[in-house]
Amino acid sequence: MFWNSKVTIKNDEEIALMRESGRLLSIVFKELEAYVRPGISTKEIDTFAEKTIRGLGGVPNFLNYEGFPGSVCTSVNDQVVHGIPSEYEILDEGDIISLDCGLIYKGYHSDAARTYGVGKISKEAKDLIDVTRRSFFAGIEKAVAGNRLYDISRAIDDYIAPHGYGIVRELTGHGIGKNLHEEPMIPNYKKLFGRGIKLKAGMTLAIEPMITYGSRRVVWAEDDWTVITEDGSLAAHYENTILVTEGRPEILTLYKE
């Protein structure tokens, strides 16, 4: 996966465009949450997502990115991320599905992910989804100018550890802006050495804990895209694009009424 090697600080004009890109994506996810239900295919979700993105004036940034064939990653149950939409994959009552999606608005990217229950789901699945979401918010408490990058990583890890879930290490959060993936890479687990770069106001980051119910170990499916848990346990994913400020970070992809 291509990474832009430079950590960028956005100016006021760029931040305004990032805000609008994030706002539009938050609307997409509001629509997706209502659309997910038993009996539909992941391809139907993808078609709906693309139509919604384009209807809002955005461009789906995942579509054809390094060859990915969809506008949204549809990862069901033990699939962690990068699940390929398919007309043959039909959602059943009790499934969980992680949707990872982004868009481009006037040259600027936004990126977010949510895990949804399909109909009535188990308590174990609900708890996993909830803890994954809460770990994101624990992490961004440290996403303040003057702190270090790995302070975010440590906070996520510290929140997850008491619950006994696995934290995927092969996949990380990232910087974002004119490119979907920019430096820095942002692990969701404690680093043994160093604290990472110093955070500065104007950085835009995609923070995205990927958490498993069992072992943290993952493998790649034969399609070379879909990442699945090695032990077949459930996985959840929660992501937002944020803006680092001198105070509390601003979440750009969180829907506001």
pLDDT of residue 196 exceeding 90: yes
- What are 197-230's pLDDT values in tens digits? 999 999 999 999 999 999 999 999 999 999 999 9
In a domain, 2, yes or no: no
What CATH number does the domain containing 243 carry? 3.90.230.10
Tell me the DSSP string of 54-116.
Answer: HHTT-EESSTTGGG---SEEEEETTEEE-PPP-TT-B--TT-EEEEEEEEEETTEEEEEEEEE
pLDDT of residue 84 exceeding 90: yes
In a domain, 1, yes or no: no
Tell me the DSSP string of 151-198.
Answer: HHHHHHHHHHGGGT-EE--S--EEE-SSSSSEEEEE-SS--SS---SB
pLDDT of residue 240 exceeding 80: yes
Percent of the chain with pLDDT over 70: 98
| pLDDT the model gives residue 194 | 87
The per-residue pLDDT of the chain, averaged, comes to 96
In a domain, 7, yes or no: no
In a domain, 46, yes or no: yes
| pLDDT the model gives residue 193 | 80
Who's near 17: CB < 8 A, 6+ residues apart? 105, 106, 107, 108
Domain count, the chain: 1
**Which has the closest alpha carbon to 96: 113, 117, 114?**
117
In a domain, 88, yes or no: yes
- What are 138-195's pLDDT values in tens digits? 999 999 999 999 999 999 999 999 999 999 999 999 999 999 999 999 999 999 788 9
In a domain, 256, yes or no: no
The band of 1, judged by pLDDT with boundaries at 50, 70 and 90, is: very low
Compute the CA torsion angle 111, 136, 175, 236 (nearest 10 deg). Answer: -50
In a domain, 20, yes or no: yes
The band of 37, judged by pLDDT with boundaries at 50, 70 and 90, is: very high
In a domain, 45, yes or no: yes
Range of 166's domain? 12-251
